[in-house]
Amino acid sequence: MKLFAGNSNRPLAEDIARYLELPLAQAMVRRFADQEIFVEIQENVRGEDVFVMQSTSYPANDHLMELLIMIDALRRASARRITAVLPYFGYARQDRKAGGRTPISAKLVANIITEAGADRVMTLDLHAGQIQGFFDIPTDNLFSAPLIARDVKAFQDWKNVVVVSPDVGGVVRARALAKRIDAQLAIVDKRRDRPGESEVMNIIGEVAGRHCLLIDDIIDSGGTLCNAADALIAAGAVSASAYITHGVLSGGAVARISSSSLKELVITDSIQPTAAIRSAPNIRIITTANLLGEAIARTASEESVSSLFD
Active site residues: 190
Neighbour-count burial of 43, counting CB atoms closer than 10 A to its CB (0-12 exposed, 13-18 middle, 19+ buried) = exposed
Residue 186: count of CB within 10 angstroms of its CB: 23
CA distance 95 to 85: 19
Map residue 86 onto helix, strand or coil: strand
134: DSSP letter: G
Map residue 33 onto helix, strand or coil: coil
Distance of CA 12 to the CA centre of its chain: 13
Query: Distances in Å between the alpha carbon of 124 and those of 20, 147, 151, 292?
Result: 18, 12, 17, 9
